[in-house]
Amino acid sequence: MASTEVGNLFSVKGRVALVTGGTSGIGLMIAKGLVANGAKVYVCGLESDPIKEVEATLNDHGKASGGTAVGFPCDLTSKHGVEAISLFLRTQESHLDILISNAGIRRDPPQSCDVLTAPLAELQASLWSSSYSDWNLSFQVNTMAHYFLSVALVDLLAAVGDAIMPDGTKGKDHGRGVVVVTSSIASLHNATNVDMMSYATTKAATDHLVALLASKFARWYVRVCGINPGFVPSNMNPMGTGAGADIFGDLVQKVPAKRAGSMDDLAGVVLFLVSKAGAYVDGRSIAIDGGRTLFANGQI
């Protein structure tokens, strides 16, 4: 098989991956893309998540390719919780090919308003209703967890990057030993049509963290990349109804692609980044948004 054939260039067969927040939404989409292509995927989520059901679904999804999944609960809100993930993985694996640091939360102001039309007093009251604890938790999960998890597992990623492959090259030349951090296009524009202040701020910090970590790990070429998804349906971001928790209303239809993002959109980019195809990409993030951020101020 030629090196540029798809089966070679984008292969993740037999690779070991960890996906945080992998029981729903973007994380589950990515996990499905990995197991469907033969990877062994560890998926962690909250203890209250349907972990065993997701594990069974992923194992079924990977049958044809030989991909497998192991689900376990995790807590990303503390250094101790992150260390527990690292210790668990070390009882199972001697290396880690892929870390998908994906888990995230969104905490909107308890007192909402129409930010496009609200009088100043109403807007101020809405913004002020946000709590310090919500901002703290948002940074703990959306930014700090990416940092501590990457640091906790960097030696496992470096180990496979330095491993000698059958063709005499190193694992890093095949894209092995990579971190992919999930950010958001909320970090790339100043949306005034919705209020996601704490969420967008943490995601902007995460974008810079990608470059900072990549720089720190550069001597071992443990790559750190990011993805900035646009409108993608998830438990955190229901969309299409225009009511209740669906703060996006009909904005999805105003995206140039005229649709929300899908599993193929997310999995395709991630497979590129974590395989030989993306082995020369480091310290950069890719927007997966159907053209959303082409338009100023987050609105069309």
How confident is residue 252, by pLDDT bands cut at 50, 70 and 90? confident
Q: Is residue 247 part of a domain?
A: no
Q: Tens of pLDDT along 205-251?
A: 999 999 999 999 999 999 999 999 998 877 666 655 445 555 565 67
Find the domain containing 107 and state its range: 6-232+264-289
Check residue 242 and give its pLDDT: 46
How confident is residue 300, by pLDDT bands cut at 50, 70 and 90? very low
Q: Is residue 76 part of a domain?
A: yes
Q: Tens of pLDDT along 23-75?
A: 999 999 999 999 999 999 999 999 999 999 999 999 999 999 999 999 999 99
CATH number at residue 17: 3.40.50.720
The DSSP annotation for 252-279 comes to: GGGSTTSS---HHHHHHHHHHHHSGGGT
What global pTM score does this model have? 0.94
Residue 125 has pLDDT above 50, yes or no: yes
For residues 189 and 163, which has the higher predicted lDDT (pLDDT)? Answer: 163
DSSP state of 165: P
Q: Over range 131-143, report the average pLDDT.
A: 97
Q: Is residue 275 part of a domain?
A: yes
Dihedral pair phi/psi, residue 169, rounded to 5° = -85, 175
Quickly count: other Cβ atoms within 10 Å of residue 289's Cβ.
22
Q: Is residue 1 part of a domain?
A: no
User: Nearest-CA neighbor of 282 among 215, 198, 196, 184?
Assistant: 215
The DSSP annotation for 197-222 comes to: HHHHHHHHHHHHHHHHHHHHTGGGT-
Q: Is residue 241 part of a domain?
A: no
Q: Is residue 66 part of a domain?
A: yes
Burial of 284: CB neighbours in 10 Å, binned 0-12, 13-18, 19+? middle
Q: Over range 77-86, report the average pLDDT.
A: 98
CB 186 within 8 A of CB 244: no
Q: Is residue 99 part of a domain?
A: yes
Strand partners, 164: 170
| Number of domains within the chain | 1
Q: Is residue 254 part of a domain?
A: no
Strands (E), 109-258: 178-182, 223-229
**Arithmetic mean of pLDDT over the chain:** 92
Q: Output the CA angle 37-38-42, nearest 5 degrees.
A: 105
